[in-house]
Amino acid sequence: MKYYEVHIPYFIAKRDPGFEIKDGETAMESQIKIVKDLFSSLIPTQIFKANKRLADFLSPSADLSSRIILSTRAKALIERYRKGNIRYYPCPIMRGKEMVSDYWITDKVTFDDEWVDFPKSEFFFRKRKLISNESEIRLKYEVTEQIIQFKDLDDFNKFRNEKMWHMDERFPFKIFIKKGCPHHILSIHTTGPRYLIVSEELKNEMQIQKMNKGIEFKPLEIPDEEWFGPNGLRKQFYS
């Protein structure tokens, strides 16, 4: 199957500036790979402008990054294609001065990094080597950049644990999914981009159901450098 990253660049919420938590309370934060029970966590109200009609898929405020807000009907569609991999919590939304119901925020609880086809996938690696004395006020580094590959997930993790310095960086460049993957929705939080990833079949169904307002579907295997930019492939699909 072909897979796409779900980008939502036009419907981005702002956090309620008056949101506060009291002693003993917890608030939902950005998505992490550690699975937690967030049932009792408070969710800051997500604010959208009054002059904008809300879509089925929305981006939350920055403090809730790597999550998605979706309508009840969008939630039903996503769950039809895969159940149990995402938990959904009611999300308070304010559009202008009006509170809006029937929206949910995601919490991914199943991660699918083992479905990455590592021999085909490529990663951008930026290596930094300290070349100045640590006592100097302005530290200097020698920086090298290269595209690297890994045999499998164990090799990927071993490289991070044994060969990467805390100043080094590694990003997904080209990501392919193994043939035979049965899932239409993927979360590759460790190895790949931290967007919602959907199959071509689900992408097409979202378009048929007119749930693609404000969404851009970026092919997973195309590097950002080729997709974005003034001459990027994105311009062929989105103006």
- Estimate to the nearest angstrom the gap between the alpha carbon of 179 and the chain centroid: 22
Domain map (residue ranges) of the chain: 3-109+187-221, 117-174
Amino acid identity of 59? S
Task: Give the whole-angstrom CA distance, residue 56 versus residue 37.
Answer: 25
HEC letters along 56-85: CEEECCHHHCCCCEEEHHHHHHHHHHCCCC
Q: Which of 43, 50, 86, 122 has the alpha carbon at shortest distance from 197?
A: 86
Other Cβ atoms less than 10 A from the Cβ of 15: the count is 15
- Residue 223 burial (10 A CB sphere; 0-12, 13-18, 19+): middle
Q: Would you say how long the chain is, in residues?
A: 239
pLDDT tens for the chain, 239 residues long, are 999 999 999 999 999 999 999 999 999 999 998 898 899 999 999 999 998 899 999 999 999 999 999 999 999 999 999 999 999 999 999 999 999 999 999 999 999 999 999 999 999 999 999 888 767 778 888 999 999 999 999 999 999 999 999 999 999 999 999 999 999 999 998 898 999 999 999 999 999 999 999 999 999 999 999 999 889 999 999 97
Amino acid identity of 45? T
pTM higher than 0.85 for the full model? yes
Token pair of 221 as six digits? 């295997």
Q: Which of 130, 189, 191 has the alpha carbon at shortest distance from 156?
A: 191
Give 11's contacts (C-beta < 8 A, 6+ positions apart).
48, 52, 54, 55, 57, 58, 59, 214
pLDDT confidence of residue 229: 85
Task: Give the whole-angstrom CA distance, residue 109 versus residue 3.
Answer: 20
Helices then strands, each counted (H, E), the chain: 4, 15
Structure letter (DSSP) for residue 117: -
Other Cβ atoms less than 10 A from the Cβ of 142: the count is 10
- Residue 22 burial (10 A CB sphere; 0-12, 13-18, 19+): exposed
